[in-house]
Amino acid sequence: MKLSPLVENYSSESFAVPRKPTISKIDTLSRHQKSTSGYVGTAGPGRHIGNWIIRRTIGSGSMGKVKLAIHTTTGEKAAMKMIPITPANTKQTVRIQREALLGRVLRHPNICPVIETIRTPTCTYILFEYVGGGQLLEYILANGRLDEGTARLFMIQLLDALRYLHQNFIVHRDLKIENILLTEDLRQVKLIDFGLSNFYSQSDLLQTYCGSLYFAAPELLDAIPYNGPEVDVWSLGVVLYVMVCGRVPFDDISVSMLHSKIKSGKIEFPSYLSSDCRALISAMLNVDPKKRIPLEQTCRFPWFKQYSFSNYMSPLMSSSFPGISSIRSSMLKPPFNTKVLQLLHDHGLSSVPELKHELSMAYTERKTTPLVCLYLLGIESLAPALRIPKALPPVHSRY
Ligand SMILES: Nc1ncnc2c1ncn2[C@@H]1O[C@H](COP(=O)(O)OP(=O)(O)OP(=O)(O)O)[C@@H](O)[C@H]1O
């Protein structure tokens, strides 16, 4: 595949200098954006939902519109996802509950948290922390590809977020450039959209194919059951390529051709890309999931060599906060916290007595199950010291 002249012509730009969007990039990158579903939000601007006033539309996805909401007393901003309740659509119900619950219990500086969930008879409103810098995709469309220094900073943050998820046996499964938002100062990225996330275990393989085709690992296209984390590694490899090249690595208007390009794993690298960056992308985009680099080994790649990875790790990733199975199960102790059990039940899990029973079994057998992880994440999310992770230092002090 020949590189687009528009991509070749880019000099090594600075992150701060904005560029005009280019049609060819928009064609390439936005073709994989899903169109909004037929749903038109029922909550117009100025309407109150709980303690929030609804303002303008800030985004849309397959689940509906996302509106800016302002808290009536504190003035806090939030992104309100409005999902109409359709009793027949159980798949959507599971997706909403999963997204609301994970957003509530996950605490990581590069994962967008849920502030509140409001349910009415007709609609579920999930209020997320407002991330003010827009989509990373839009930034790249408007300003061109990122320089490797900026891409590296974002990669470190995304790797950290994924490591946190994987340590808690959660796979994102819908990692794509549209699901990465920039903070207002453009120094941090935040992962959104956990509706397709799932729990994995070493013994049970996942089967469901989800997510965007452009970011999908080849084994998913053949419906081969997969363990979990390796599909996120592939998607993150595609994200890295998009960040540093301004286009997707595998592209075709024909879906079957796109499938074969993804399965071939043949990647064209632009000449300006450093060999260290190419090596990392190639290791992440290995078509054989068994040979694909495991997430925790990526930080040892020469592309990261100038940086002490430990400086960038959030406090949540320290050794006192491991998600390793045996340690995780040893953190489980009765009596179980009823607030957390109620929270889990409110998000579609079994009744409180059933949850207690399942946790007691896991405690007796010293087993780490998805429920154990969720319960412990719930406990940790209640601890005030862990709620506000340390802010990252400014970009330029790190290079
Ligand atoms: N926390 C947030 N802060 C600011 N904008 C947001 C936030 N969450 C979502 N958005 C905006 O709304 C858009 C749609 O959000 P999201 O991808 O979560 O919706 P979705 O319906 O789940 O989408 P998908 O079709 O990918 O499943 C985002 O791309 C972004 O532009």
- Which range has the worst mean pLDDT, 17-31, 130-144, 231-245? 17-31
User: What is the value of ipTM here, to two decimals?
Assistant: 0.96
Domains (range + CATH), the chain: 48-129 (3.30.200.20), 134-317 (1.10.510.10), 324-386 (no CATH)
Q: Which two tokens stand for residue 323?
A: 């998600």
Q: Which residues have CB under 6 Å of ligand 1?
A: 34, 58-63, 66, 79, 112, 128-131, 135, 178-179, 181, 192-193, 195
Which has the closest alpha carbon to 158: 175, 146, 140, 141? 175
- Which range has the worst mean pLDDT, 6-15, 62-71, 89-98, 179-188? 6-15
3-state secondary structure of 281: helix
Whether 174 is catalytic is: yes
Q: Is the pLDDT of residue 376 over 70?
A: yes
Residue 329 pLDDT class (50, 70, 90 cuts): low
The answer to whether the pTM exceeds 0.95 is: no
| CA atoms of 228 and 335, how far apart (whole Å) | 32
Give Cβ neighbours of residue 233 (< 8 Å, ≥ 6 apart).
162, 284, 292, 293, 294, 295, 298
The mean pLDDT of 282-300, rounded to a whole number, is 92
Element (H, E) at 92: helix 90-105
Q: Of the segments 177-186, 219-228, 358-367, 378-387, which one has the largest average pLDDT value?
A: 177-186
| CA atoms of 165 and 180, how far apart (whole Å) | 15
| CA atoms of 392 and 161, how far apart (whole Å) | 13
Average pLDDT, the chain: 77
pLDDT tens-digit readout, 205-221: 555 555 578 898 998 88
Q: Is the pLDDT of residue 29 over 50?
A: no
Task: Please choose from 37, 136, 192 the residue to mutate so as to test ligand 1's pocket, defined by most ligand atoms within 8 A of CB.
Answer: 192
Q: What is the pLDDT of residue 324?
A: 46
Task: Report which of residues 258 and 7 the model is more confident about.
Answer: 258
d(CA 18, ligand 1 centre) in Å: 23
Is 290 part of any known ligand binding site? no
Residue with CA nearest ligand 1 atom 4: 131
pLDDT tens-digit readout, 232-269: 999 999 999 999 999 999 999 899 999 999 999 999 99
Q: Which amino acid is at 305?
A: K
Which has the closest alpha carbon to 228: 277, 279, 162, 181? 162
Q: Which two tokens stand for residue 82?
A: 């409005």
- DSSP-derived letter for residue 74 is T
Task: Report which of residues 18 and 151 the model is more confident about.
Answer: 151
